Structure 1
Amino acid sequence: MILRDSTKSPAFVEGNKHNLQTCLSQTPGHARPPPPPPPPRSPHRIRGVTTKYTARDLEYGDIACLFNSTTLSLTDIPTECYTANNSDSCQALAYNGSVYCEWDRNGLGIDYQVIAGPAFILVFTFMGVILGIAADRFNRARILSVCSIVFAIAIILTGAVKEYWHLVLLRILLAAGESACNPMATGILSDIFPEEKRGLVMAIFNWGIYGGYGIAFPVGRYVTEMNAWGLGWRVPYYGAGVVALIIAVLMTLTLREPERQAIGEESTKQAGEAAEPTWKVLLQPRIVLLCIAASIRHCGGMTFAYNCDLYYREYFPDYDLGWWLFAVTIVIGSIGVVVGGVVSDKFVAKLGVRSRVACLAISQLISTPFAFGSVYLSPVGAMVTLGISYFFAEMWFGIVFAILVEITPLHCRSTAVGVFLFVMNNVGGNLPILVEPVSKAIGYRESLFIFYAGFYLISSVLFFLTMFLMDGPKRAPRDTGHDNPAATLEMVTNGHGARGLRV
């Protein structure tokens, strides 16, 4: 979940100091028709939160009339700032002799879209495929270590940029470094841990996503506002980059390439059986349908991530729900992703990989009505239903990659993860752009019903259909012992016909 610094929204309240207790004890404000939502944010979290400050310092992006008062709320002012379309009319907006708007850069516009979208997404997805292929042929631990160092250096240098084009180049470098993480780490973890722990391991690994989402909000917003050493928005990048560099160095010194293991379905194949070409593996109906379902689910999650802060600021302008969103993301989301891994591990030993897909379908189905409530109800109901929805909805991420590594053979496992991420990020990450035109036609809240809660439901149906394409539980061959599967029955001819001898 990404917490937007929605400065373009007319509901932007920079100085709002209401806490959650005040919010939940008051009646929700009147919901006004919102302006079109700003463009989607990139997967890199601090960039989204600090965009306004960066744009003002480096002088890029759109200029707009923004609310700028620490003493007034939107319910007090006679005319909202976004109605002014030039500097003079913006400065003329006043209440009781006090100007409450400012004409300044809002951090959005085509310049922001370039660094948030193509400069990151295209490089991230294409490099993910390339590095996934490399991971199936070379030492994954070394590649991951080098890419992690590149990623950390790019973050540190971002804090030192002086020009907009510096920012673009470093976004490209950062995307290249980050793209190695999932294909490499997924393959390494699947070789280190056994099947009965794989769902939990993938869940814990992907917990980093939710931790990153949540931490980006207080670090990107409040640390920037502290203006430590007069560096403002640059401090979060220096701090995050130094931490990333320390972790990358530790990983370089401690991580070793594990022996590659045949896991999941591949472990039951007969010795000497020819390996399928990579393209045939990737075009299996079950992998294609799993990828489509994951892309739809990713779109639902990204739609909420791109719009949650904007939506709650717009419909409940006098309430600061930021810390509650932080708690839902980093606490409830983390619990949900771990519980999903544990539950799928409990069933996979008895019911096979099909049970993991069933967990996906059921969890997304349960989360759907609560997701609907999180954008329909008043603040109390919205936050309660959001917490419940998030618990079940976020079970999916660790499970889906546990499934993927268990149904793809060893020789193309990392390639499959890279291609899977390429499709999922490009489809699921870009479909939320449709929220803007749809919101103009039927309304902002209604568009979220479709692309957020509705896509949760659609993904549940697709995961359910995928379940029938998966293999069931492993069955011991007839020539194996019940107590000791390693004991086999060989048919030996001894002159009296073929008799089974236990050896």
Structure 2
Amino acid sequence: MLELSKMLSSLYQPYVLAIVSIGYVLGELGHYLIGVTSKAIAMDLHYGDISCQLNTTEYYLSDLPVDCGEANSSEICFSFNINGTPYCEWTYNGLGLDYQILAGPSFIAVFTVVGVILGYLADKFNRVKMLAVCTLVFAIAIIISGGVTEYWQLVILRMIMAAGESGCNPLSTGILSDIFPEEKRALVMSIFNWGIYGGYGIAFPVGRYVPQANVLDLGWRICYYAAGIIALIFAFLTWFTLKEPERQSIGEDAQDNSDAKKVTLWTIVSDPRIIMLCLAASIRHCGGMCFAYNCDLYYQQYFPDYDLGWWLFAVTIVIGSIGVVAGGVLSDKFVAKMGIRSRVVVLAASQILATPVAFGSVYCEPVGAMITLGISYFFAEMWFGILFAILVEIVPLRLRSTTVGIFLFVMNNIGGNLPIAVEPVSKAIGYRESLYIFYVGAYGISSIMFLFTVFLMPGAPESPSPPVKELSGHDNVVYTHDETNLPTITSLVRNTKKNLNENSRL
């Protein structure tokens, strides 16, 4: 019975990691589904841009006398035909300012503000119960999103979904950092934060192929119903099966608790390390969000002959997962030798390596694009888990969740809202060219900023020197007859052999 209890106890840590990570995956699935289902929803709710698009799979682009995209009116669009049969349709394409607002600002505006509030509350109240409530909120919002009939309803529900999901990162980060030791922390944070890419990757096959199956004649709506119901189950598992861990001091906080108590929130937000990390993360997040919101729509527009849904799923889930684990393992392996600085070194190196191949994922044709995207994902996806492992190790325990909330507020307000600029820039210079700027360019700039941050971080802590024996004061090694000390056995033996009339030190 005792052995069974020990075995179950050893499984609790990975169980907690699994529950909070899968809950995060489901929240991110609800977040990113809009990018894959936008065209189907737009045709149903009538929002966004209308354009001329290929409406058949019978022909390849090379077979068409005129590309559908060259038409700028419905009359010209319907005039394109092969042997009298039109091959184009004038309909909603899922893009436009309405879509960019729906995907970005409507979600980010609430996500960032509520995230700061929940981060502050997490430092004071039960994080497990708060996480369960947050999961319940976004689960219900996802379910109701499947029943909308108007564009504005979807905007409101995206905001509610954001309010619920905003608590996942600061709450889960605090819980996980308290139950896992330092030597596993970056790996654990990487696995958890992989939820962003897990939800994003799963959104491709779910958003593309489930609506085509038209289960129960629900089309795209079944995606939201199913994702929300599963999230609902994990909300109850979080509430009833997880327990609030004891809060632990870690990293710099654990090394010097007296100094940590003097640290204020202003001290943290004005720390050059935090500022540089936050700015670099904001720009990197812009690149990631830009590609996440536009990836599926971009490949559909430029390569309509190719069904890349499963390829995108495989690259994101398989390659991205390997990158996440590799980044965590490398960071944890070197942190003992180089200190917290080692995590930043791994972070900067991974993003530098990811940048040139990210360019290839947009520049190349489908096969080359998928190969370079896979290489890019391997290195690029190391960043998030390592970043938050660094953050929790340089912030005092009592301000940890608050800091994470503020960090996410800034990062998401900058990185989450900048992708809206893709729309006007794409109309001015082209869709592909706008991705060069906001996706590849953001990767490159952030990698340089992460590299500069390395020089702001302290190196490995010095090993303590052996204590030096103090030779001043009343030490019997020096003064064997000092009246301030009791005589030692050695001095008593020595005194018996000496002349009894020998003068003392006095």
Are 1:474 and 2:469 an aligned pair? Answer: no
Answer whether contact 1:299 1:429 (CA < 8 A) is retained: yes
Q: What's the CA shift for 1:169?
A: 2.2
1:142 aligns with 2:99: no
Please report how far the alpha carbon of residue 48 of structure 1 lies from its aligned counterpart in structure 2 after TM superposition.
Answer: 1.9
Match of 2:351 among 344, 360, 364: 364
Provide the residue aligned with 1:260 in structure 2: 247
User: Offset at 1:243?
Assistant: 0.7
Q: Deviations over 1:172-222 (max 9, x none)?
A: 211110100001001111111111100000011112222111111111111
Going from structure 1 to structure 2, the CA distance change for 1:62 and 1:372 (only over 3 Å counts) comes to: closer
| Aligned residue pairs, count | 451
Aligned equivalent of 1:44:
31
Which whole-Å CA distance do the structure 2 matches of 1:459 and 1:83 have between them?
Answer: 36
Write the distance in 2 (CA, Å) between the matches of 1:151 and 1:63: 31
The equivalent of 2:397 in structure 1 is 410
Partner of 1:456: 443
For 1:172, the equivalent position in structure 2 comes to 159
Q: Distance in 2 between matches of 1:353 and 1:462?
A: 17
Aligned counterparts of 2:238 and 2:185: Cα–Cα separation in 1? 21
Whether 2:181 is the aligned partner of 1:181: answer no
**C-alpha separation in 1, matches of 2:108 and 2:259:** 40
Report what 1:227 is aligned to: 214
* Counterpart Cα distance in 2 of 1:153 and 1:335: 32
Provide Cα deviations, 1:428-474, integer angstroms capped at 9, x if missing partner. 22223444555556554444334333332222221111111111112
Matching residue within 58, 61, 65 for 1:71: 58
Aligned runs of 1:381-392 on 2, under 5 Å?
Answer: 381-392=368-379
1:86 is displaced (CA, Å) by 4.2
Contact 2:29 2:202 in 1 (8 A): no
Identity fraction in percent = 65
Question: CA 1:208/1:164 → structure 2, altered by over 3 Å: closer, same or farther?
Answer: same
- The answer to whether the 8 A contact 1:42-1:121 is kept is no
1:159 to 131, 135, 146: 146
Instruction: Give the secondary-structure state (helix, strand or coil) at the position aligned to 1:319.
Output: coil
Give the secondary-structure state (helix, strand or coil) at the position aligned to 1:261: coil
Matched with 2:277 is 290
1:129 aligns with 2:116: yes
Q: 1:326 to 1:498 in 2, by over 3 A?
A: farther
CA distance in 2 between counterparts of 1:351 and 1:245 reads 43
The equivalent of 1:216 in structure 2 is 203
Tell me the alpha carbon deviations over residues 249-292 of structure 1, each in whole angstroms, 9 at most, x when there is no partner.
11111111111111001111154763311122111000000111
Deviation at 1:118, TM superposition (A): 2.9
Counterpart contact for 1:491–1:498, Cα < 8 Å = no
Please name the residue that 1:36 is paired with: none
**d(CA) in 1 for partners of 2:214, 2:420:** 33
Instruction: Quote the offset at 1:237 in angstroms.
Output: 0.9
2:228 match: 241
Residue 417 of structure 2: aligned partner: 430
Q: Which residue of 1 aligns with 2:237?
A: 250
Q: Within 5 Å, which residues of 2 pair with 1:264-343?
A: 264-271=251-258, 274-343=261-330
Q: Deviations over 1:291-318 (max 9, x none)?
A: 1111122222223323333443444443
Instruction: Measure how far apart 1:126 and its partner are.
Output: 0.7
- Bigger drift between 196-205 and 270-279 goes to 270-279
Q: In 1, Cα distance between the equivalents of 2:260 and 2:301?
A: 60
Work out the CA distance in 2 between the residues paired with 1:466 and 1:68: 50
Compare 59-68 and 320-329 and name the one that shifted more. Answer: 59-68
Structure 1 counterpart of 2:78: 91
Match in the other structure for 1:24:
none
Distance in 2, matches of 1:363 and 1:415, equals 28
Q: Work out the CA distance in 1 between the residues paired with 2:466 and 2:64.
A: 81
Point out where structure 2 has 5 or more consecutive residues left out of the alignment: 1-27, 479-506
Task: Mark the CA change 1:199 to 1:302 in structure 2 (over 3 Å): closer, same or farther.
Answer: same
Shift of 1:96: 1.0
Which residue matches 1:20?
A: none
Identify, as 1 or 2, the structure richer in helix.
2
**Residues 151 and 84 (structure 1), Cα distance of their counterparts in 2 relative to 1, 3 Å cut:** same
Tell me the distance in 2 between the aligned counterparts of 1:92 and 1:130.
Answer: 56
Alpha-carbon distance in structure 2 between the residues aligned to 1:105 and 1:436: 15
* Distance in 1 between residues matched to 2:440 and 2:97, nearest whole Å: 29
Stretch of structure 1 that moved more, 91-100 or 446-455: 446-455
Residue of structure 2 equivalent to 1:21: none
> What's the TM-score once normalised by structure 2's chain length?
0.82
Root-mean-square deviation (CA, aligned residues, Å) is 2.6
Structure 1 residues 57 and 460: CA distance shift in structure 2, 3 A: closer
Give 1:42 shift: 11
Deviation of 1:401 (Å): 0.5
Contact 1:42 1:48 in 2 (8 A): no
TM-score (norm 1): 0.83
Whole-Å Cα distance in 1 between the matches of residues 259 and 244 of structure 2? 25
Q: Does 1:120 align with 2:107?
A: yes
Comparing 365-374 with 243-252, which one deviates more in the overlay? 365-374
Alpha-carbon distance in 2 for matches of 1:109, 1:316: 19
8 Å CA contact 1:126–1:422 kept in 2: the answer is: yes
Deviations 1:217-257 (A, max 9, x none): 11111111111111111111111011101111111111111
**Residue 335 of structure 1 aligns to which amino acid in structure 2?**
I
Instruction: Flag structure 1 segments of 5+ consecutive residues without an equivalent.
Output: 1-40, 481-488
